[in-house]
Amino acid sequence: MARKSTAFTEITDLRRLFDVSKPFLNRVIERQPKQFLKAVDGVSFDIKKGETFALVGESGSGKSTVARMVVGLLPVTSGEVVIDGISMTKVADHAQRQKMRRRMQMIFQDPYASLNPRWRVSRIIAEPIRAFGLMTDNAAIEARVGELLGLVGLHPADGVKFPHEFSGGQRQRIAIARTLAANAEFIVCDEPTSALDVSVQAQILNLMRDLQKEFGLTYLFISHNLAVVRHMATRIGVMYLGRLVEIADSKTLFSNPRHPYTRMLLDAVPDIGMTGRQRTPVAGEIPNPINPPSGCTFHPRCPLATARCKAEAPKMIDGVACHAVNPN
C-alpha cells in the first residue's frame, strides 16, 4: 500500500486472531478442529500529526484489540504499525523502538486499575520521568510533577495523596498527567471517559482537547459512543466485527453517513440535533465473531442486503465498504 508522507501513524492490514479452541483432549474426543476468533480482520488507517482519529463501534467490534496492538501491548497476527516512520511490528532497531515507547502512551477506561494504589500520586507521575531518564535531579522532578498536576487541573499539593483519595474524573486527570510526564506525543485513549458521569466526561474531554492544542498531541480515541466522538475527532473510523466499514471526516460522517451500519449507529444517538432524524434503537445484535456471517458480515442486520452481500465481502472503496454504496 502506498505510504502517505503526512501520516504520523500508519496502520496497514492489521489482523489479530485469538485461539478460542477447546482443550486438546476435548477436541480430539469431539473430533473438532482448532477454532480461531478474528478479533481484527484487515484494518488499515492513518493518523496525521495533531489530529484525533476515533474508532467507534459496538462492544466486541475489535476497538481495544486494535488499540493494544498499536501501542505494542498485544502482538499482531499480521499487518504493520508504523509510527513516525518507525515500524513497531517489524523492528530491527531496538533503540529506536524504545524511544518510541516513550513517545506513545495509553489511557484506559478505568484509571484506578492503571494507577498503583500503594504509590503516592507524585511518585506515579514521576515514574515515567525516571524510567525514561528524562530528569535525574530530585528537586527538578518534584517541580515538574507539580507543574504537570497544575496542567491537568489538580493542585501541586495533591501529589502527597493516594489514588483512592480522588474521584474517577480526578484519577483520569492523574493518568493524563502521567502520559504528559513521558513527553508523549501520541496518546491512545481507550474509552477514557466511559466510566465517568456525563458532566465529568465533558470536563475530561475539554482538558484533552486543550492539552492537544497546547502540545500538538496526536490521539487515537476509542469509544462506543458517537456523541462523545463527534466533539473530539478530526476523522472517524467505524468498526464492525473486526473490520472498518467506513472512514470519513467527523463532519462528513455526521452530515452524510454512507454505510448502512453507520446510519444505524447515528440513528440511535440521542440528542444529536443537527441530523434531524428520529432516534431509532440499534436493530439486532452483533453475531458471534467465532462464526461470523458470510460475505458482508453486516448482512443479517442490513436493510439493504442482497444476495451478493451474502456471498461477497465488500472492499473498502473511497472510505466505504458496502456493495450498495459501491455497486461495481
Ligand X SMILES: Nc1ncnc2c1ncn2[C@@H]1O[C@H](COP(=O)(O)OP(=O)(O)OP(=O)(O)O)[C@@H](O)[C@H]1O
Is 64 one of the binding residues for ligand X (CB under 6 A)? yes
Q: Which does 39 bind (CB under 5 to 8 A by kind): ligand X, Mg ion, ligand SF4, none?
A: ligand X
Q: Report the residue number, 63 or 259, with the smaller CB distance to Mg ion.
A: 63
Please list, in sequence order, all residues whose beta carbon lies within 8 angstroms of the beta carbon of residue 231, skipping any fewer than 6 positions away. Answer: 205
Interacting residue with ligand X among 20, 140, 143, 317 (CB under 6 A): 20
The least distance separating Mg ion from the CB of residue 102, rounded to whole angstroms, comes to 24
Residue 82 binding partner per list ligand SF4, Mg ion, ligand X, none, with a CB distance cut-off of 5 to 8 Å that depends on partner kind: none
Residue at grid coordinates 489482523:
15
Q: Which is nearer to Mg ion, 57 or 319 (CB)?
A: 57
Cβ at position 176, least distance to ligand X in Å: 20
* Positions in 264-293 near ligand X (CB under 6 A): 289
- Establish if 61 lies at the interface with ligand X (CB under 6 A): yes
Question: How remote is the C-alpha of 293 from its chain's centroid?
Answer: 25
By rule CB under 6 A, what string of x and - marks binding of each residue 245-284 to ligand SF4?
A: ---------------x------------------------
Q: What SS3 state is found at 171?
A: helix
State which residue, 61 or 262, has the beta carbon closest to ligand X. 61
Q: What are phi and psi of 188, to 5 degrees?
A: -95, 120
Assess 299 for contact with ligand SF4 (CB under 6 A): yes
**What one-letter code names the amino acid at 192?**
P
Query: Does residue number 224 form part of the binding site for ligand X (CB under 6 A)?
Result: yes
The neighbouring-strand residues paired with 7 are 48
Other beta carbons less than 10 A from residue 304's beta carbon: 14
Pairing of strands 36-48, 7-19: antiparallel
Indicate the burial class of 234 (C-beta count within 10 angstroms; 0-12, 13-18, 19 or more).
middle
Among the listed ranges 64-72, 157-165, 225-233, 316-324, the one in contact with ligand SF4 (CB under 6 A) is 316-324
User: Does 296 help bind ligand SF4 (rule: CB under 6 A)?
Assistant: yes
CB-wise, 111 or 292, nearer to ligand SF4? 292
Distances (CA, A) of 64 to 98, 231, 275, 278: 22, 20, 28, 30
Element containing residue 136 per DSSP (H, E): none
